[in-house]
């Protein structure tokens, strides 16, 4: 009876140490890709491009007399401020992706860029359709 209990404890300790070793190996395993790999560089370039497209489309509809809804007119009419906001949006995006990468969420890291590009591009295309009857001032 004592031998059986002792064996069980020994087996339990061995199983625990194997589990811990496997967990440590998983933590030390390299990520499946480098953060600045070709895919992320292309995706981040796409994000920056879509932000630039958003900037240009917003300036376009402001020249045609339409009003900004998400921010306000005084912010988007201030070119350096608005460029800074678009750049900060891109930088924040890259920072969030870096966090996702560091925590092993590689699929979400990639898809976040795809969704960002999609939503921003959709909004920019829509911006070009705003108030198109108004003549430029």
- Is residue 101 at the binding interface for Zn ion, with CB under 5 A as the rule? yes
Question: Closest approach of Cβ 101 to Zn ion, in Å?
Answer: 3
Residue with tokens 């240009």: 56
Angle among Cα 71, 117, 36 to the nearest 5 degrees reads 115
Angle among Cα 82, 125, 41 to the nearest 5 degrees reads 70
**Closest to Zn ion by CB, 86 or 109:** 109
**Closest to Zn ion by CB, 99 or 122:** 99
- Is residue 106 at the binding interface for Zn ion, with CB under 5 A as the rule? yes
Residues 117, 48 contacting (CB under 8 angstroms): no
Which of 55, 93, 109, 113 binds Zn ion (CB under 5 A)? It is 109
Q: Which residues bind Zn ion (CB under 5 A)?
A: 101, 106, 109
């Amino acid at each position: 009876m004592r031998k059986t209990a002792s064996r069980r404890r020994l087996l339990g300790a061995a199983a625990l140490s194997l589990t811990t070793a496997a967990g440590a190996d998983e933590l030390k395993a390299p990520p499946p890709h480098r953060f600045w790999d070709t895919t992320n560089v292309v995706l981040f370039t796409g994000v920056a491009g879509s932000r630039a497209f958003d900037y240009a489309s917003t300036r376009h509809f402001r020249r045609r007399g339409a009003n900004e809804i998400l921010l306000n007119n005084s912010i988007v009419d201030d070119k350096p401020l608005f460029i800074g906001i678009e750049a900060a949006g891109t930088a924040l995006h890259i920072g969030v992706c870096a966090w996702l990468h560091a925590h092993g969420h590689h699929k979400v890291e990639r898809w976040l860029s795809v969704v960002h590009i999609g939503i921003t591009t959709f909004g920019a295309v829509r911006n070009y359709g705003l108030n198109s009857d108004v003549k430029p001032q």
